[in-house]
């Protein structure tokens, strides 16, 4: 299920109207104004959301509020209309589409926490339109609702709780802190521009034409694993460096299974493309015959009736296979997710990233004290052992073994499988 071109055009016009209502003029910027881009790469459930959250809060990077995928999709990119298609995008990108992506991406950038201001409210309004494209939200009414609720908000969380209540939106769609319940099986929209759980925008310092050049741009979305040649044409004047984030495959595959069986992480509605019969998913989830979750690798239709563990192992190895194939001549830093959460190694792992990017943290960040981000289950050591009877055989796949070795994991050692 994909939106019509006219629907996307109307949505872009609504976003521009909202920006005008908040007196947010477009920055006169182009691809040549981005000197350096740092891209976090890894499979889904590798811990990249946590790393992105930490780095984007450090003040060392300009970063969007979350994944940049909605800005691609609102400009007509990344929709799947045939089973031969995937999350891969063809290079090069045409200049008009690139300019439109920059128009929306630049408005979403920020660094360092700041007070709630009109720019932040404009970003909130844009995200609401991208998250709920089928609700027909009126720009003028939406701007009034946001301004009214912002007067009584003490922070971003209280603002978004007020907004979801005022607009009658299900708060379970959002990555809110604290206990939450998601009951989305019968309420998922026909299509999504942003994969739920939706991000909670936070107020941050925003760039000017001058300050944008003073720090690298930071990007993170798992589908970039299949878009690296295309990404280089999106930023043709920038130096692009890649942080490849690894996590041992047992934990990642288990996390993918958790996500498939949760009420979140919907990416592609394949209702009019291909019927899914994934065993252990399609037969237990209400929407399991049509909604694919997480990234959609090339060759996905060969797994349309496979057992869910096989699908998840396929997703894990496909992501890294494409990453390694397309970063051979690039500047690359390897980081382990486990190191970020180790009391002994976390600070050094983060410092290595800042050094690699040629920048430094302005605001201290601590992975050990940060709440889980975009998590389907509470984290715990070796949680995958609950499924070891199905996961251990997957680790015997030659590609899984080879990729794990490239990432620095010895699958013959139980110490590595935490």
**8 Å CB contact between 406 and 323:** no
Q: What is the pLDDT of residues 199-223, one digit of tens each?
A: 888 999 988 888 888 999 999 999 9
Q: Which of 117, 365, 369 is nearest to 218 (CA)?
A: 365
Q: Which of 184, 182, 392, 403 is nearest to 288 (CA)?
A: 184
Which residue would you say has higher pLDDT here, 161 or 26?
161
For the ranges 4-13, 65-74, 200-209, which has the lowest average pLDDT?
Answer: 200-209
pTM of the model as a whole: 0.93
User: What DSSP line would sit under 19-36, residue for residue?
Assistant: HHHTT-PPP---GGG--E
**8 Å CB contact between 238 and 265:** no
pLDDT value of position 11: 94
Tokens coding 5: 């071109």
- Secondary structure, 3-state, 51-80: HHHHHHCCCCCEECCCCCHHHHHCCCCCCC
> In whole angstroms, what is the distance from residue 316 CA to residue 249 CA?
7
Q: What is the pLDDT of residues 340-357, one digit of tens each?
A: 999 999 999 999 999 999
Domain that holds residue 201: 5-416
pLDDT value of position 321: 97
Which residue would you say has higher pLDDT here, 370 or 267?
267
For the ranges 123-127, 130-134, 184-188, which has the lowest average pLDDT?
Answer: 184-188
pLDDT at 395 over 80: yes
DSSP 8-state class, residue 267: E
405 membership: H or E segment, kind and range = helix 398-407
pLDDT over 70 for what percent of the chain? Answer: 91
Phi, psi at 62, each rounded to 5°: -90, 130
pLDDT value of position 199: 86
Which residue would you say has higher pLDDT here, 383 or 387?
387
Tokens coding 107: 């408005």
For the ranges 65-79, 89-103, 304-318, which has the lowest average pLDDT?
Answer: 89-103
Which residue would you say has higher pLDDT here, 269 or 377?
269
Domain total of the chain: 1
Question: Count of CB atoms within 10 A of residue 264's CB?
Answer: 21
| Alpha-carbon distances, residue 88 vs 30, 118, 130, 230, 245 (angstroms) | 24, 36, 22, 9, 20
Question: Count of CB atoms within 10 A of residue 161's CB?
Answer: 16
DSSP 8-state class, residue 213: G
Q: What is the total residue count of the chain?
A: 418
Q: In what order do the strands lie in the sheet with 217-220?
A: 217-220, 36-41, 239-246, 331-336
Peptide bond into 254 cis (omega under 30): no
Helix axes 95-108, 5-21, angle to 10 degrees: 40
Helix axes 346-357, 48-56, angle to 10 degrees: 70
Tokens coding 372: 């889980």
Q: What is the pLDDT of residues 278-334, one digit of tens each?
A: 999 999 998 999 999 999 999 999 999 999 999 999 999 999 999 999 998 899 999
pLDDT at 155 over 80: yes
pLDDT value of position 181: 47
pLDDT at 224 over 60: yes
pLDDT at 175 over 80: no
Q: Sort strands 217-220 and 291-293 into parallel, antiparallel or unpaired.
A: unpaired
Give the mean pLDDT of 267-275: 94
DSSP SS3 for 336: strand
pLDDT over 90 for what percent of the chain? Answer: 64
Q: Sort strands 204-205 and 111-113 into parallel, antiparallel or unpaired.
A: antiparallel
- pLDDT interval class at 22 (50, 70, 90): confident
- pLDDT interval class at 185 (50, 70, 90): very low
**8 Å CB contact between 182 and 252:** no
> In whole angstroms, what is the distance from residue 112 CA to residue 94 CA?
33
pLDDT value of position 370: 64
Give the mean pLDDT of 231-243: 94
């Amino acid at each position: 299920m994909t939106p019509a071109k006219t629907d996307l055009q109307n949505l872009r016009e609504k976003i521009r109207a909202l920006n005008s209502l908040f007196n947010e003029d477009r920055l006169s910027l182009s691809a040549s104004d981005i000197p350096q881009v740092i891209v976090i790469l890894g499979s889904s459930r590798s811990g990249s959301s946590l790393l992105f959250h930490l780095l984007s809060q450090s003040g060392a990077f300009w970063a969007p509020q979350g994944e940049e995928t909605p800005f691609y999709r609102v400009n007509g990119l990344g929709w799947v209309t045939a089973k031969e298609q995937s999350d891969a995008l063809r290079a090069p990108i045409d200049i008009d589409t690139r300019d439109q992506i920059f128009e929306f991406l630049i408005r979403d950038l920020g660094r360092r926490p700041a007070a709630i201001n009109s720019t932040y409210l404009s970003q909130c309004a844009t995200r609401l339109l991208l998250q709920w494209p089928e609700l027909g939200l009126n720009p003028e009414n939406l701007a009034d609702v946001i301004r009214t609720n912002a007067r009584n908000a003490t922070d971003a969380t209280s603002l978004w709780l007020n907004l979801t209540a005022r607009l009658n939106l299900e708060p379970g769609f959002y990555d809110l802190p604290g206990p939450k319940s998601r009951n989305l099986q019968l309420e998922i929209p026909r299509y999504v521009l942003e994969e739920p759980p939706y991000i909670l925008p936070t107020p941050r310092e925003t760039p000017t034409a001058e300050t944008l050049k003073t720090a690298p741009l930071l990007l993170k979305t798992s589908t970039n694993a299949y878009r690296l040649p295309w990404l280089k044409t999106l930023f043709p004047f920038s130096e692009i460096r890649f942080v490849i984030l690894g996590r041992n495959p047992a934990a990642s595959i288990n996390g993918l299974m958790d996500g498939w069986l949760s009420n979140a992480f919907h990416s592609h509605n394949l209702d009019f493309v291909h019927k899914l019969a994934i065993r252990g998913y399609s037969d237990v989830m209400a929407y399991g015959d049509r909604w694919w979750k997480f990234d959609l690798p090339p060759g996905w239709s060969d797994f349309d009736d496979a057992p869910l563990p096989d699908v998840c192992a396929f997703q894990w190895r496909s992501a890294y296979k494409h990453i390694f194939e397309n970063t051979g001549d690039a500047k690359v830093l390897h980081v382990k997710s486990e190191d970020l959460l180790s009391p002994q190694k976390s600070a050094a792992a983060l410092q290595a990233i800042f050094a690699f990017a040629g920048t430094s943290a302005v605001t201290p960040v601590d992975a050990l004290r940060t709440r889980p981000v975009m998590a389907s289950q509470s984290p715990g050591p070796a949680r995958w052992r609950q499924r070891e009877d199905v996961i251990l055989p997957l680790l015997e796949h030659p590609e899984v073994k080879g990729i794990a070795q490239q990432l620095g994991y010895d699958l013959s050692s139980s110490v590595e499988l935490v």
